[in-house]
Amino acid sequence: MFKIIFALAGYYLFRLPGALIGYFIGGSIDRARSYGVGGVNPLGTGRRKEVFLETVFTLMGKLAKADGVITKDEIDHVELFIKKMGMTAEHREQAAAQFKRGSAAGFEIAGTLNTFMAACGQTLNLKQMVVVYLIVMAVADGVLDKAEVVLLEQIASRLGYSSVQFQQLLEMVLNQSHFSSGAGGAGQATSATTLADAYKAIGVTESNTDQEIKRAYRKLMSQYHPDKLMGQGLPEDMVAVATEKATEIQVAYDLIKERRGI
């Protein structure tokens, strides 16, 4: 929009040379504005990667301490989580340090979230991935404590999610896990319960039309697309969880397609 305005103004004042200069100036403003509403500034992705890693593992530490005590099982789950992602040695060390920092007595999450919002707040997918990573970590031991849910909702609220939006995302992630490769082949089952879980995993209901379900599925797959996430600032060696979620969504959607004949 601004490149057209500046080009016309430049032409009016200085004819063709002014139009060209105005066009490039306006284009720069348009690009800057697009970065501010969710576009990706390639100059900022390096900083976003650092902040994303710091935020996720600091909050994981806080989450592990949510019930007052960090058990050996929780530490083992974090170590397994890091190993599963195939992180570089440098990132593993950073993750361990940030986890320890977040689990310290009296640690407040406000500063961490403020830093994250300043660096990544305009990237909807990165905000969602923070919440998704934390939910995945919280349920890694098979139990989601009330204290963990309360903290997760507080974090989600600071990232801009309403209570309803958080509950929907929580339900989707929990049900997506039913279709993981380690879930006993749940995606191949055809029971009414499994089909209901599949709808929840996509964020729809049986009453939705085929087109609505397709749109929901495509939107989710776009949100978890590795290239898009890395382009916005997700560290390359932290993309494994997003890839796993995409696979779970695909399995759930395939079951819905089979049963509905889409």
| Domain match, 140 and 233 both | yes
The reply to whether 129 and 17 lie within a common domain is no
* Per-residue model confidence (pLDDT) at position 57: 93
State the virtual CA torsion across 177, 178, 182, 188 in degrees, nearest 10.
-140
- Alpha-carbon torsion (37, 39, 44, 47), positive or negative: positive
User: 182 Cβ partners below 8 Å, 6+ apart?
Assistant: none
* 149 and 250 together in one domain: yes
Residues 157 and 207 in one domain: yes
pLDDT digits (tens, 9 = 90+) for 104-126: 988 999 999 999 999 998 888 99
Dump pLDDT digits (tens) for 150-201.
999 999 999 999 999 999 999 999 999 899 875 544 444 446 679 999 999 9
Amino acid at position 244, single letter: E
Say how many domains are in the chain. Answer: 2
Whether residues 155 and 243 fall in one domain: yes
Do 26 and 70 have their domain in common? no
- CA 225/CA 38 separation, integer angstroms: 16
Are 109 and 29 members of one domain? Answer: no
pTM for this prediction: 0.76
Q: How confident is the model at residue 70 (pLDDT cuts 50, 70, 90)?
A: confident
Residues 114 and 144 reside in one and the same domain: yes
pLDDT band at 55 (very low <50, low <70, confident <90, very high): very high
Residues 96 and 164 in one domain: yes
pLDDT at 14: 53
Average pLDDT over residues 128-151: 89
Domain encompassing residue 1:
1-37
Are residues 212 and 153 located together in one domain of the fold?
A: yes
Q: Are residues 103 and 232 in the same domain?
A: yes
| Percent of residues, the chain, with pLDDT higher than 90 | 49
Residues 27 and 48 grouped into a single domain? no
6-19: pLDDT as tens digits = 445 544 555 554 44
- Give the pLDDT band of residue 44 (cuts 50, 70, 90): low
